[in-house]
Amino acid sequence: MAKERSSSGDPARTLELLWREPGSEGARRGPRQVLSVDAVVLAAVGVADAGGLEALTMRGLARRLGVTPMTLYTYVPGKAELLDLMLDAVYLRMPRTDHAGQPWRDRVAAVASENRELYRRHPWVAVLGVSRPPLGPGTMAKYEHELTAFDGLGLDDVSMDAALTFVLGFVHSVARTAIEAEDTDRDSALSDAQWWAVNAPLLDRVLDPGRYPLATRVGSAAGQAHQGVYDAEHAYAFGLRRVLDGLARLVEGPGASGSTPPGASGSDPRGDA
């Protein structure tokens, strides 16, 4: 199956829909509109949240909304444009932390946490190719908010954009790996712990510590610590600390000691969530 990707439709039509004026749909000529673009997008997000992008088809969405596929196409030209509208809609609705006056590490950690929660709520966003994000109101509001985490730190504009891209790339990578791990557990009907228990006798025979001393020692230690091959919480907390320490050299200079913000010391940065 081809990878779903944003900005693969008609860019002019997509931008018109993204920046449509409130109430503009009611001014259309012809039969009275029974739906709205927003209603179509909301329903499509619900389908993708429940079953992934593979569950989203124009025909299935039309059936869900109680209209014919041809009626659906009067609201959105096709699935490519619909994906852009969906992505911008979830960007527009994602919660944004008011981190005014907070230390820069806390601000950046909040941005990372917000994006991690976005992927948790909408896993399909993590697997949607977004090399050219739809430049709609949601995308622009998200970008404006996230840049404030780096504002006032003495970085030039290009460095601010690069620093934000660095943080978001880390969060996306961890989220994507966590989703794939969850998919593997679901498809195999076995958790990591169960898989290892089933295959342990064979692995004990073929994995020779004498031949692979580091791999067996470190792998065993990590497996026991995480009770599996991969621990998404540990990977996120460990990685975020390293990301912030790396940015500290850019923001504070080569001698930055690096202090960890609340929530980035091994627990979920969202606190009790």
Strand partners, 129: 5
Q: Output the pLDDT for position 47.
A: 97
Phi, psi at 129, each rounded to 5°: -70, 125
List all residues 6 or more positions away from 229 whose beta carbon is below 8 Å from its beta carbon.
181, 192, 196, 223
> Is 5 in a helix, a strand, or coil?
strand
Q: For tokens 């869900």, what's the residue?
A: 64
From 85, 139, 94, select the one nearest 121 (Cα to Cα): 94
CB 252 within 8 A of CB 220: no
pLDDT of residue 27: 47
| Confidence (pLDDT) at 172 | 96
Residue 129 DSSP class: B
CA distances from 161 to 10, 87, 111, 167 (A): 27, 20, 14, 10
- First CA to last CA distance, the chain: 35
Q: How far is the C-alpha of 89 from the C-alpha of 138, rounded, in Å?
A: 6
Contact 248, 103 (CB under 8 A): no
Residues in the chain: 273
Tell me how crowded residue 264 is: count the other CB atoms within 10 A of its CB. Answer: 24
Nearest to residue 178, comparing CAs of 264, 128, 116?
Answer: 116
- Indicate the CATH number for domain 11-22+32-91: 1.10.10.60
What is residue 270's predicted lDDT score, i.e. its pLDDT? Answer: 33
Task: Write down the domain spans for the chain.
Answer: 11-22+32-91, 98-190+233-251
Q: What is the mean pLDDT of each run of 10 residues along the chain (273 residues)?
A: 72 91 54 81 97 96 96 94 96 93 96 97 92 87 97 96 97 92 70 68 75 79 69 92 96 68 42 33
Q: Could you give the CA distance from residue 165 to residue 249 in angstroms, rounded to a whole number?
A: 17
pLDDT value of residue 273: 30
Residue type, 104: W
Max Cα distance, the chain (Å)? 78
254 vs 53: CA distance, rounded Å: 44
Q: How many helices (H) and strands (E) does the chain have?
A: 12, 0
CATH architecture label of 98-190+233-251: Orthogonal Bundle (1.10)
Q: Select from 167, 169, 225 the least CA-distant residue to 192.
A: 225
Predicted structure pTM score: 0.81
pLDDT of residue 192: 66
Q: For residue 221, count other CB atoms closer than 10 A to its CB.
A: 10
